[in-house]
């Protein structure tokens, strides 16, 4: 069923503002109720996600209680990750376009360049590995927080992504077992300052993801954590509008490395902990493609099928 919350699941988890405090909540339809540790059966959300009892929450979703209209509530990020892992170059068609664009200056025709790039991606999918880097959990905020565009650059970009929320700890898991470690899914907009991606003072170092992606608020997240049993992450529409104009519109079916491959690959180095975020990559259509970057007053509306919608408002940082 489609709900006013924009989710198709019978219920989801959220976090909401109550005065100066932040509380955990259960969303069902157009209502929300607070969740206590007793309701949850665990002291914290992350401890619940380590062994999630969704049947317990389903019972609460169907029961009477102190429900509040969702429309009158300020939601914030639905998770508190200890680690954030990000995936680069993971939408097949997007990467083909990028590679082909770099080959059109060669002797290849545009069609030959695209064929060559497609062969490269198919080889990578078959024999390669996902490309990961890490973000700072402190950058995770809800869309209740305006996105402040740092004054040191004018090329801040959007990258809407499906994010996996880890459940049971995953360490060196196989692809076959990987989905057993998924608690749920949420939406993340992975903001990037493009002119900080590559070091100019020492090109041999390569990319600088710390400066490019980790300013305050650069990971708008949520508004909902939708339980994994209600979501098929292999074929979800990912859509971002900027001031009402569609910029990104793709399906997770185009992921070069699917969700089990990403979880397995990321878990080979470091254990993924309950509540952690694993971003799956962003499709074509970011600001670099459109040659249009974020400005003061812009509104980004990001929707992923079945997971709801986040609305992020941009404000310019005061000149330094």
Tell me what the mean pLDDT of segment 93-103 comes to. Answer: 70
Planar angle of CA 264, 9, 284, nearest 5 degrees = 55
- Contacts (Cβ under 8 Å, ≥6 apart) of 75: 14, 15, 16, 17, 142, 143, 144, 222, 223, 224
**CATH of segment(s) 84-90+130-316:** 3.90.850.10
Residue 285 and residue 250 in contact, taking contact as beta carbons nearer than 8 Å: yes
Q: Cα separation of 78 and 94, whole Å?
A: 29
pLDDT tier at 320 (50, 70, 90 boundaries)? very low
pLDDT of 3 over the 70 cut = no
Question: Would you say the C-alpha torsion 294, 220, 184, 64 has a positive or negative sign?
Answer: negative
Lowest-pLDDT range, 33-37, 68-72, 203-207, 290-294? 203-207
pLDDT tier at 1 (50, 70, 90 boundaries)? very low
Q: Could you tell me which of 264, 90, 267 has the C-alpha nearest to residue 176?
A: 264
Q: Cα separation of 277 and 136, whole Å?
A: 11
Query: Hey, where are the domains in the chain?
Result: 12-76, 84-90+130-316, 91-129
Q: Tell me the per-residue pLDDT of 201-229, one tens digit each, with 9 for 90 and over.
A: 877 778 888 999 999 999 999 999 999 99
Percentage with pLDDT > 70 across the chain: 95
pLDDT at 116: 81
Lowest-pLDDT range, 89-98, 158-167, 172-181, 242-251? 89-98
pLDDT at 2: 39
Lowest-pLDDT range, 96-100, 125-129, 151-155? 96-100
Lowest-pLDDT range, 18-27, 71-80, 190-199, 215-224? 190-199
Q: Tell me the per-residue pLDDT of 129-180, one tens digit each, with 9 for 90 and over.
A: 999 999 999 999 999 999 999 999 999 999 999 999 999 999 999 999 999 9
Beta bridge partners of 68: 32
- Answer with the residue of higher pLDDT: 79 or 319: 79
pLDDT of 274 over the 90 cut = yes
Tell me what the mean pLDDT of segment 185-197 comes to. Answer: 95
pLDDT tier at 300 (50, 70, 90 boundaries)? very high
Q: Which helix (H) or strand (E) holds 211?
A: helix 209-213
- Answer with the residue of higher pLDDT: 24 or 203: 24
pLDDT of 104 over the 70 cut = no
């Amino acid at each position: 069923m489609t709900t006013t919350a924009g989710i198709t699941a019978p219920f989801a988890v959220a976090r909401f503002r109550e005065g100066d405090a932040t509380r955990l909540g259960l969303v069902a339809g157009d209502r929300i109720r607070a969740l206590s540790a007793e309701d949850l059966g665990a002291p914290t959300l992350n401890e619940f996600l380590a062994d999630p009892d969704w049947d317990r929450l389903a019972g609460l979703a169907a029961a009477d209680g102190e429900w509040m209209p969702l429309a009158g509530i300020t939601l914030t990020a639905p998770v508190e990750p200890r680690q954030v892992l990000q995936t680069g170059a993971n939408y097949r068609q997007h990467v083909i376009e990028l590679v082909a664009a770099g080959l059109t200056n060669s002797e290849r025709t545009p069609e030959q360049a695209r064929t060559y790039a497609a062969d490269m991606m198919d080889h990578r999918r078959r024999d390669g590995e996902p490309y990961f880097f890490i973000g700072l959990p402190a950058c995770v905020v809800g869309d209740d927080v305006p996105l402040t565009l740092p004054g040191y650059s004018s090329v801040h970009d959007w990258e809407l992504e499906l994010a996996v929320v880890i459940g049971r700890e995953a360490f060196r898991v196989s692809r076959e077992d990987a989905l057993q470690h998924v608690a749920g899914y949420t939406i993340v907009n992975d903001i990037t300052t493009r002119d900080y991606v590559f070091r100019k003072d020492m090109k041999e170092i390569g990319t600088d993801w710390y400066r490019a992606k980790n300013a305050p608020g650069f990971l708008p997240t949520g508004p909902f954590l939708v339980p994994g049993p209600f979501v098929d992450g292999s074929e979800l529409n990912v859509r971002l509008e900027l001031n009402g104009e569609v910029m990104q519109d793709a399906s997770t079916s185009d992921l070069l490395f699917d969700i089990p491959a990403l979880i397995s690959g990321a878990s080979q180095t470091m254990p993924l902990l309950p509540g952690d975020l694993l971003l799956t990559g962003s499709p074509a259509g970011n600001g670099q493609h459109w040659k249009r970057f974020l400005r003061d007053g812009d509104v980004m509306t990001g929707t992923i099928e079945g997971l709801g919608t986040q609305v992020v408002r941009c404000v310019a940082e005061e000149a330094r």
